[in-house]
Structure 1
């Protein structure tokens, strides 16, 4: 059996833990640079505030409906997520952290456990120790736990946040309730193709021939098909190295000068290089992107990218940053108001197994230098050591006009409790 534990309205729930005045009130959380709505409480959903709504268009709607709008507080959410996942790891040694707010547990050897009491204990402990409400779905396969979790979340009063699919009768009933477009792993294109085949529910999908699914789709869809039939074909995911690493951000303001843009590109590059070293990889290729504000239709629009191929694989911030700055110089166009930039490193190879170049190689001083920088930054829990062309005060320059305090990650912003007799 598998269990899927999902935190309810995670970002909004994190804010409520440290600000109880938000309980029962509509809350919306914004994306980077206070752009669009990416999370909201159930109260905000009932007011039909759409996901992805640009806040500059919906500001008046939020004010009229008393929706409390907050900037994303990623340090807080990341820390709370780590606490939740740590608690869940006590319930099973086999855990897959699927996203910031959900995890799969494989329940091996739990045949003698009460599968009603166990998820209740999970929910109670997470709520008591962190203040975060959750829902739990339990089923024989990962795909079915997704279905079970949606059912648990759809009617909290009746389900009490728990749904267990432990019989074929319950499986069929759950699949008939689930629309084909709501099935885990089925996107809009696959949904359209399945609907053309007459599949309107997840149950309809399971009635297709396995041979036909494998012939007309990929092994991924075949595994999903089997999983929904109750035959486990999707194991817990293993941590694997990424094939590319990207850091793309919108600026807090539009920039017209190349100096600010070079500083941002350098910071993005440092982030990519550090991630390369974490997974013990080096890159052969660098892509630098630059674009104007596509929402400002009255301004001249411009978008460009530059690809740099290294003669040898590298994970050095110095080497990659220098190449990125030179790339920016070639694609920068004066007179444009730039709003977004990005750095992508690809062509990744493991540091302990790659082809050497006879005529060129990495400066041997870079490896120990990068190791020393990473060690210091890790020790002090922040990017204290930076390149000279980076902003020394901030990592990401984002507009966060509605940001709550970093209650758990900044000692100067720790919550204050006033006690009276």
Structure 2
């Protein structure tokens, strides 16, 4: 029986953060939207109709008047909402295709190999199902390789009116049209610096890169660029990855909403970051043997004294117990803190991560008690059911005074009971 040629789809949410905000604010359907980074620092997301007025990464304090002038709605980042909406989108996609690789919070590769019928029609079915179930618009690119699927998706968004948000380039003629009409800088993995190198070689379009000699690209650049060129030619070099490999380090850090000058709020912040990092640790079923805590002042104001330091803590045994991790982190903060400084940020880094049974200590070495594992299991179950932070260690405040500035944050419509929509009848 002949082998089937692979077919990939990339399903990518359109202006995802802005789209999430619009789901629960239908009055903003035709209003340009931008979303800001932590502490309302700079623009990290824009709706399509906001792009003419603001650049990505622009500092908010510099563009306030411009946004107001053009009627752009501004939101603080609401990651609880975005994460929950992402899970809903991915669940719908997973229910419709055999295999899914969640590539990022707003996009996923799907394996369409062997699916009968017209794939463009199937792509529109996926698009309609996601929109009906979540209110999030998506683009769908279909192709024989992942790199081409990315390009097809880019074309679907660029020519949304003409394509209906779905582009299938499994046909060689359609693929060649997309390659000829796509700048090489739009190819997956080609950044600004790489594009500049390509232009010196007269490689300006995706088609030029596809026609370039793969071995020359490998020698001059890397095997990654060689594979990119082969993928543009229709040879699949990148497989679908269903499970993300366990992280070797887990970091949790945030800028404070204001400068801190005493140790207690810093300890609260560090305990909060430990709680989040330990949740990620347990989610990938790992244990941690080392922990690093660092604190620092603002580094750019000439009027503030500068200080930055970190401390590495060796834990008594590999653990994912938030209580033990918090205790070790607090001890580190006591070692690091120096009075007389205005602190702006703290970071917690979990290191030396292994799966249970991978640590090779001696026979008499201490190990994590089974009771601790049961307590952590109950902790996670409660927080998954009732919302993050429902159950937490005593030194993690519910509403911290030092928390990030989020003066324009929308409600957590899908993750907090007291933020649910209220429907009033006349």
Fold agreement, TM-score > 0.5: yes
Specify the alignment match of 1:34 in structure 2: 40
Specify the alignment match of 1:417 in structure 2: 423
> Does 1:137 pair with 2:141?
yes
Helix, strand or coil at the partner of 1:211: helix
5+ residue gaps, structure 1:
none
Specify the alignment match of 2:158 in structure 1: 154
Corresponding residue to 2:234 among 206, 230, 233: 230
Question: Aligned partners of 1:166 and 1:114: how far apart in 2?
Answer: 11
Structure-1-length-normalised TM-score: 0.91
CA shift in 2, pair 1:265/1:42, >3 Å = same
1:285 shift after superposition: 2.6
Helix, strand or coil at the partner of 1:109: coil
1:271-420 pair list within 5 angstroms? 271-310=276-315, 312-357=317-362, 360-362=365-367, 364=369, 366-393=372-399, 397-419=403-425
CA shift in 2, pair 1:412/1:321, >3 Å = closer
CA contact (8 A) 2:100 2:242 kept: no
Farther off after superposition, 178-187 or 94-103: 178-187
> Does 1:3 pair with 2:9?
yes
Question: Aligned partners of 1:314 and 1:188: how far apart in 2?
Answer: 43
Helix, strand or coil at the partner of 2:51: helix
CA contact (8 A) 1:267 1:395 kept: no
1:303 shift after superposition: 2.6
CA contact (8 A) 1:312 1:356 kept: no
CA deviation vs aligned residue, 1:358-399 (integer Å, no higher than 9, x gap) = 564245353343334334333433323322322244699222
5+ residue gaps, structure 2:
1-6
Corresponding residue to 1:109 among 88, 107, 114: 114
Specify the alignment match of 1:208 in structure 2: 212
CA shift in 2, pair 1:80/1:377, >3 Å = closer
Question: Aligned partners of 1:326 and 1:367: how far apart in 2?
Answer: 23
Question: Aligned partners of 1:299 and 1:333: how far apart in 2?
Answer: 14
Specify the alignment match of 1:55 in structure 2: 60
CA contact (8 A) 2:249 2:349 kept: yes
CA deviation vs aligned residue, 1:274-320 (integer Å, no higher than 9, x gap) = 22122111223322222222453432233332233446433222332
CA deviation vs aligned residue, 1:165-212 (integer Å, no higher than 9, x gap) = 122232233223222322212234444444444432322222232223
Structure-2-length-normalised TM-score: 0.90
CA shift in 2, pair 1:62/1:294, >3 Å = farther
CA contact (8 A) 2:387 2:415 kept: no
CA contact (8 A) 2:10 2:108 kept: yes
* Matched positions, count: 418
Specify the alignment match of 1:186 in structure 2: 190
> Does 1:69 pair with 2:74?
yes
> Does 1:171 pair with 2:175?
yes
